[in-house]
Amino acid sequence: MRGFQRKNILTVMILLAVTMAMPGLSVRLQAAENAAAAEDQGTVSPPVEELSGYKEISKTFALNDQDSFGSISVDLSDTSFIKDGEEGRLEEEFDASRKEARQAVRSEKDMESFLEEKDPETLYHVEADDEGKLEITAPYQTRRLIVSSILEGDTYGASRVYYNTDDHETILEFDSQEQTKRAYEQVCRQLGDSACFVDEIYYVEDLLQEEPGTQVPAAPCLSWGNRYMQMNQLKSKAAAGGYGGKVTVAVIDSGICRTNPLFSGGRVLDKGWNFVSGSPDISDYKGHGSHVAGIICDATPANVRILVLKVTDIRGRASLYAVKNALRYAIRQKVQVINMSMGVTGEQAAGLTYLNDAIREARNKKIPICAAAGNDGVDVKYSYPANQKIPITVTAINADGTRGSSTEGKVKAIYANYGNTIDFSAPGTSIISAGRGGDFYYMTGTSMAAPHVTAAIAYLKLLKPDISVKDVENQLKSMSRDFGPKGKDKYFGWGCPIMGNLFATGIKKTSPEKTGPGQVSISGLFNKKKGVRISWKLSGKADGFKIYRSTSGGKFKKIAKVRSGKRSYMDTKTLQGRKYTYKIKAYKGKTDGTQSQGQTMIRQAGVSKFKIKRISAAEVTLSWKKNKKVSGYEILCSSSKSAANGTLIRVTGNNRKTISGLLSPYCFLQIRTYRTSGGKTYYSAWSGMKRIRMR
């Protein structure tokens, strides 16, 4: 489990070792001797730290950098910009002259040159949008990558390496953004684009209106939206009707202000957590999360409780890794429904999938997730995770039951996103609820629409706690007031659920859910001594797995069938240098699931007959049996068994290597083969570590 950053730094390391071990010794001759031998060498990554428990993980990856940002939108006609909701000017932000700033906004290329000159340590990405603005992001600010497998080989020059044992993933942290970018590109070349994610910073604050609520309507429901959906009727009847079971709703948002009366009476659970700072402080400085949670509490009786999971900081910034950890935590807490009135918007959202496994796990465990569609008035494909089919995506309507103003009899959208993944619509305009400082505020947005549907689902869970997500969708569909074209459409989905008759009619008879096998994804392929080991992750349930293999681009053939408890398989029938592509699918009874995406490995057998001979107190010669179909060999040389300060030496063309300048009492050595093909590098397993006494 060691990885390397291929840089020519062996000489520097030897100088440091000499300085520490023998301060009085001149190192000029030693440096000259080792400079020639330093080609293609790098440092070994530090020891791996294993992490488990989503609270503990959040403590390790707290978002503390106050200079980081989500996005900057620059007006091409001026030098003004909006940075995470705050206005500014280029010349002030980057300490530039007015002339420099005006030259920067002429084009993407000019802006990139300007940013590179003013802030060379940050890697900016500049893109012009359709509105005549430049969108600026800095994707590598956290200097962190998440790899969706446990890396057992190269860790790509990371300065810190963590294993998230709960999710079977590797987190790599680097000392610079440039190193992060290079490592990301290398991981994608070797493992595929879907195997690695940059832990980017996003700005998720998305409100269209915020006004103090000077006149608070009378109970039982303050929001006109809750009255429109007739949840005020249910709230009055719930206690009298004996619906006293407890339902927990997770609100993934900006936190909560507990002092608002909507949250009195123990409505907010003590198990909430701040996944941004890694602390129990769930205070809401933006008011957004309080407003969302308040809508749910306003609509439901006191036995519907809120689990607050804070994922944004005081400026409305979040990372997808924090959101994913919050989702997983909610699932482990066995909540009944999750509200996500937040998301990533813009072009970058169209290609995101990072949260999908967690959302799918929730769905498989009968936990619906309501996602806000977004407020840009564009196709919902530019809002993640609302653009996925897995969550229940909610758009907004006005008080008159429209999405906006009516022009010539046609509904014209004003702010709510639309598209094929819209499932339902709910009130979102001028909604009164809790806000900052314990006060009441009116807010507008699809963020307000989603918790109305979340509250409706909470009532379904009161009646039938084990109702599946599919049956939740069908029940809401049967109770929805249809708008627009008959049936589901891209503006309203199935319409707005009207819940007033729920206690009278009950939940429609549902058939036992026939869930097929879960979805499998390959988490890693590894060359081992006996063959190629395939490991995978399962989202859902299965009786077992079928493993398929293609050899050198040929047809896929089933090579194994393993029981459900296993998550890895060793393919021992492999040949040195041969290319193999693997796919896996789960099965349940006689039903097969969907095959995973294929992953490829070139078989690299380990080195045999590895021998070491000491030539002098500072020099050894290594030899080994030459392997066929390899690009070369990598030797790991260190002064301790942990290899914490080791170096990597590449050898090509022969099976012997002399290493000089060894200054420690002992030398520890390992060797492996590698093969480069199609821009990717494949490694064998490391040999056993050998120790030789030098003096």
The SS3 assignment for 172 reads strand
Q: Estimate to the nearest angstrom the gap between the alpha carbon of 136 and the chain centroid.
A: 21
- Beta bridge partner(s), residue 680: 677
Q: CA Rg, the chain, in Å?
A: 29
DSSP codes, 218-244: PSS---HHHHHTTHHHHHHHHHHTT--
Question: Helix 446-463 to helix 469-478 angle, to the nearest 10 degrees?
Answer: 110
List of residues 6+ apart from 45 with CB closer than 8 A: 2, 3, 4, 5, 155, 157, 158, 159, 161
Angstrom CA distances, 662 to 12, 37, 311, 436, stand at 13, 12, 50, 64
Instruction: Check: CB of residue 379 under 8 Å from CB of residue 418.
Output: yes
3-state secondary structure of 1: coil
- In the 8-state DSSP scheme, what is residue 493? B
Separation between Cα atoms, residue 5 and residue 97, nearest integer Å: 39
DSSP states along 412-478: --SS--BSTTEEEEEE-SSEEEE-GGG-EEEEESHHHHHHHHHHHHHHHHHH-TT--HHHHHHHHHH
Conformational region of residue 205, where left means phi above 0, alpha means psi within -120 to 50, and beta covers everything else: beta
565: left (phi over 0), alpha (psi -120 to 50) or beta: alpha
Q: How far apart are CA 366 and CA 132, in angstroms?
A: 44
Whole-number Å distance between alpha carbons of 376 and 169 = 34
Count other C-beta atoms under 10 Å from residue 29's C-beta.
Answer: 10
Q: Read off the amino acid at residue 459.
A: Y
CA 179 to chain centre: 20
Parallel, antiparallel, or unpaired: how do β-strands 125-128 and 133-137 relate? Answer: antiparallel
Say which amino acid occupies 78. D
Distance CA 246, CA 261 (A): 20
Strand-pairing partners, residue 587, are 544, 592
How far the first Cα of the chain sits from its last, in Å, is 29
Inter-residue contact 103 to 334 (CB < 8 Å): no
For residue 149 the two structure tokens come to 């497998």
3-state secondary structure of 683: strand
Q: Which residues of 383-412 are buried (b: 16+ CB within 10 A; e: fewer)?
A: bbbbbbebbbbbbbbbeeebbbeeeeeebe
Q: What are the distances in angstroms from CA 182 to CA 69, 168, 430?
A: 21, 23, 47
Catalytic residue numbers, as ranges:
253, 288, 447
CA atoms within 13 A on the CB side of 671: 25
- Name the DSSP letter for residue 268: B
Instruction: Specify the residue for token string 């608070």.
Output: 216
C-beta of residue 203 within 8 angstroms of C-beta of residue 320: no
